[in-house]
Structure 1
Amino acid sequence: MKCDRCENAAAYSRKYSGESLCSECFSNSILRKAAKTISKHNMIQNGELVCVAVSGGKDSLALLHVLSKMAENHNFGIHAVTIDEGIPGYREEALEIVKKFCGDLGVSHTVYSYKDLFDLTLDESLRMREGEKTSSCSICGTFRRRAMDHAARDIGASVIATGHNLDDTLQTFLINVTSGDTHKIGWMDPDTSENALRKIKPFCEIYESEIVFYAFTNNLPFQSEPC
């Protein structure tokens, strides 16, 4: 089977469009999709510094890879930020992966830890909670958002980019509908408000399966083990 765009051997079959694509044409299509989303929602302004949240997983590393390519031909900068929750035996691997990957791309990278920012690790905060009503993910999420906001301001960025994909958006939509929180559905739109700090999701219109294939076809290193 040949690629519908260049006649090379196809490596990916895109069911929703009926296309068969080689690895190079597939990768270029992801770049164009992300660029179209950024342009459509006016996510990045001329001359801005974008704080890219990079955990070491496939989505965040693919996003960093895509934005680094875009930044080569557009007037905006990127700075990768990793948050260290202080989870023993887990975060160390991701930090090494991200550090090396950023070095290969020539992208600035800074690590911020819960311990430095809040004077306690995630494990320490979990031991302080009363009962089990508040989940570890809920506590970590609150800390992470505060840490990313601090990091973005600290490095002088006006935008925070995260690797949330279309599957994440659909999952959040269904959770809000089934739980009756329909008033939250509007919050899922790309946040491009004129506040000092904006949150953007350039992959919000791309399926997770395509991001996985993008990571593999571009030989991106990533931590596969979830926290």
Structure 2
Amino acid sequence: MGFLQVLRFPPTVQKHMLIKHMMAFIEQEASEKAEEIDAKAEEEFNIEKGRLVQTQRVKIMEYYEKKEKQIEQHKKIQMSNLMNQARLKVLKARDDMVSDLLNEARRLLADIAKEPAKYSALLEGLVLQGFYQLLEPKVTIRCRKDDVSLVEAAVQKNIPIYKEKVKSNIEVCIDQETFLSPDIAGGVEVYNANGKIKVSNTLESRLELIAQQMMPEIRVALYGANQNRKFMD
């Protein structure tokens, strides 16, 4: 109803109708304002919600990326540990094989003394080598008790040879009180006069020396050549 139409009514009615019209207008405006506020609030809510969701999404992605890196690092460490353990097992198995080989060689050394002619010739060489290594005018020899007579014969044979080669005399004493253990395979120990210098020419010590010198060749024979090895000593 328009304003001119309202004027046709009595003043009291006009006043009532104007008030009602104004209230309707205010209510309409308030309703529109409320809708505008609601729309703006909804928009701001959606924007804030989107921002929070995006922030949390980034945090979650960063968290799982960090977890993934930690897991990958843990896997690398585990793999490295497993490879090291496997490498150590292989090295131990190889060392055990070399040890078994040397133990077998030590066991076979005992058979040498069972052949008197061969063992006597070996003792002669070990005694003479002891003389040459010490180059002392007086030496003492220790041997197994069962080898005394063989060592005496080796000494008597080698004294002239030593004198001829070195152009010097040598006095040799065979220790008749302290003997080498009967458990060794054989050989001698040669000492200078005061006993401070020793040349160990037992069969076991010679085997150890040869094993050290030939260890690269032994490993190649057992396992093949190591492609990563640059030096063989």
Q: Under TM normalisation by the shorter chain, which class is it?
A: under 0.3
With the length of structure 2 as denominator, give the TM-score of the two structures. Answer: 0.22
Q: Whose RCO is larger (CA < 8 A, sep 6+)?
A: 1
The structure richer in helix per residue is: 2
With the length of structure 1 as denominator, give the TM-score of the two structures. Answer: 0.22
The structure richer in strand per residue is: 1
